[in-house]
Amino acid sequence: MVCMGSLLFSASFNMLIPELPAYLSSLGGAEYIGLIIALFTLTAGVSRPFSGILTDTIGRKPVMLFGAFVCLICGFFYPILTSVSGFLLLRLAHGFSTGFTPTAASTFVSDVVPHKRLGEAMGIHGIAFSTGMAIGPALGSFIKLHFSYDVLFYSSSAMALLALLLIFNLKETLPQRKEFNWSLLKVSRKDIIAPEAMPAAIVNFLAYIGFGVVLTLIPDWTEAVGFTNKGMFFIVFTISSLLVRVVAGKLSDRHGRIKVIMVGVILLIFAQFWMGYINTPTGLMVGAGIYGLAMGVATPAIYAWTIDLSLPGQKGKAMATMYIAMEAGIGLGALLSGWYYQESISRIPHTFYASAILALIGVVYILFRKGKIAN
């Protein structure tokens, strides 16, 4: 049930992504395309410390419900806030959804499975979330092509409502729960980051910068090479990711997280160079497949590694730290690539090369720190 909830939740906000650059341009804000993802990830990242604390105190279920509720409400406001400033403000608010639900959902998964199968379980949960990432953009582009932006936004809310109903029927897994009070939101510096989870967070940050580039520029890049459905890249990317996640998760359970993460990040580097160099429809779809394979290998192992590194009773805080790094990477990639792009298609390959180099730094970090970080 938590996997189905995550699938629908993921589809809810991902179905908007391929069409938002064109929508923002129609509002007169073409120069702010990089902010579509950057603002969303900013509030997602800022909210992570709070979601981590609340996940470990009031429970996994309320935190998941809050994130889904934000998605539900935001879908209704896109047709109302039709100025550029209103749109950007709404992107900020919408980011709270992913700041809360994924943190609690991943922690929930770690509660209900044996630790020796944690990597496998994270792979299965990742399949659900990634399926939403595939269904969402493809469905979103279909709705926009055949109906309108308003129908697209309301459909996003409908997906969030279904996720909300599924999550509501879950049984809470936190044994010692506290009642919510505002004092829980008083976050000190030591509550923001779990230092023990930083190795996984650093690798995740460097790997996900490229994903911010993909989310921002792939819609225009896909159209430039000849596709009318801007969700095609995400379909191939996600199918490829789905095919490998469970196997990769099992391998990380048997042979260690580090080895599997290294393979995934090296594939990621190759995929980003490929997407920048090969600018044909077939080439881009091959690149999407390799990119999905890379993320499908690395992500479950990184998530499981984060739980491995966490302290007793602080799994939510560790997962929040990892997600903060992920959101920072996505946001930075989106912001810088959007700033550099300026609607010049010839600049897109350069952004892929740059993100590949940053992922390479992640490999170097693992190699130099291998003897000092837990496997």
Tell me the three state secondary structure of residue 123. helix
pLDDT tens for 14-65 read 899 888 888 888 888 888 887 887 788 788 878 888 888 888 889 999 999 9
Residues 271, 73: Cα–Cα separation, whole Å? 36
List the structure tokens of 254.
């048997």
Per-residue pLDDT, 205? 94
Residue 184 has pLDDT above 80, yes or no: no
Q: For residue 292, which of 239, 250, 252, 214 has the smallest C-alpha distance? A: 239
Residues 58, 264: Cα–Cα separation, whole Å? 35
For residue 202, what pLDDT band results from cuts at 50, 70 and 90?
very high
Residue 374 has pLDDT above 60, yes or no: no
What is the number of other CB atoms lying within 10 angstroms of the CB of residue 28? 10
Residues 7, 28: Cα–Cα separation, whole Å? 33
Per-residue pLDDT, 67? 92
- Provide the Cα torsion 222, 227, 232, 236; round to 10°: -80
Residues 316, 4: Cα–Cα separation, whole Å? 21
**Single-letter amino acid code for the residue at 213:** V
**Choice among 76-85, 216-225, 270-279, 280-289 with the minimum mean pLDDT:** 216-225
Distance of CA 183 to the CA centre of its chain: 29
pLDDT tens for 336-354 read 888 888 778 888 889 999 9
**How does DSSP classify residue 195?**
G
Q: For residue 76, which of 184, 141, 153 has the smallest C-alpha distance? A: 153
Per-residue pLDDT, 6? 93
Alpha helices in 15-117 (DSSP H): 20-26, 34-57, 60-77, 84-112
pLDDT tens for 52-100 read 888 888 999 999 999 999 999 999 999 998 899 999 999 989 988 888 9
Per-residue pLDDT, 371? 55
pLDDT tens for 119-136 read 888 888 888 887 887 788
Q: Are 247 and 119 in contact (CB under 8 A)?
A: no
Over residues 249-270, the mean pLDDT reads 89
Per-residue pLDDT, 331? 81
Q: Are 246 and 124 in contact (CB under 8 A)?
A: yes
Residues 293, 200: Cα–Cα separation, whole Å? 19
Per-residue pLDDT, 370? 63
Residue 182 has pLDDT above 80, yes or no: no
* More confident position, 87 or 335: 87
Tell me the three state secondary structure of residue 299. helix
Residue 13 has pLDDT above 70, yes or no: yes
- The string of DSSP codes covering 245-271 is HHHHHHHHHHH-HHHHHHHHHHHHHHH
CA angle at 163 for the pair 156 and 63, rounded to the nearest 5°: 110
Per-residue pLDDT, 178? 82
2-171+192-369 domain in CATH 1.20.1250.20?
yes
Write down the domain spans for the chain: 2-171+192-369
Residue 222 has pLDDT above 90, yes or no: no
Which are the contacts of 224, defined by CB distance < 8 A and separation ≥ 6?
279, 345, 348
Q: Are 366 and 68 in contact (CB under 8 A)?
A: no
Per-residue pLDDT, 168? 92
Over residues 275-287, the mean pLDDT reads 86
Distance of CA 306 to CAs 117, 156, 320, Å? 14, 30, 10
Residues 31, 355: Cα–Cα separation, whole Å? 21
Element (H, E) at 197: none
Tell me the chain's radius of gyration from C-alpha atoms: 19
**Single-letter amino acid code for the residue at 200:** A
Per-residue pLDDT, 373? 58
Residue 372 has pLDDT above 60, yes or no: no
Residue 154 has pLDDT above 60, yes or no: yes
Q: Is 324 exposed, middle or buried (0-12, 13-18, 19+ CB in 10 A)?
A: buried
Residue 334 has pLDDT above 90, yes or no: no
Q: Is 191 exposed, middle or buried (0-12, 13-18, 19+ CB in 10 A)?
A: middle
Per-residue pLDDT, 201? 92
Output the average pLDDT for the chain.
86
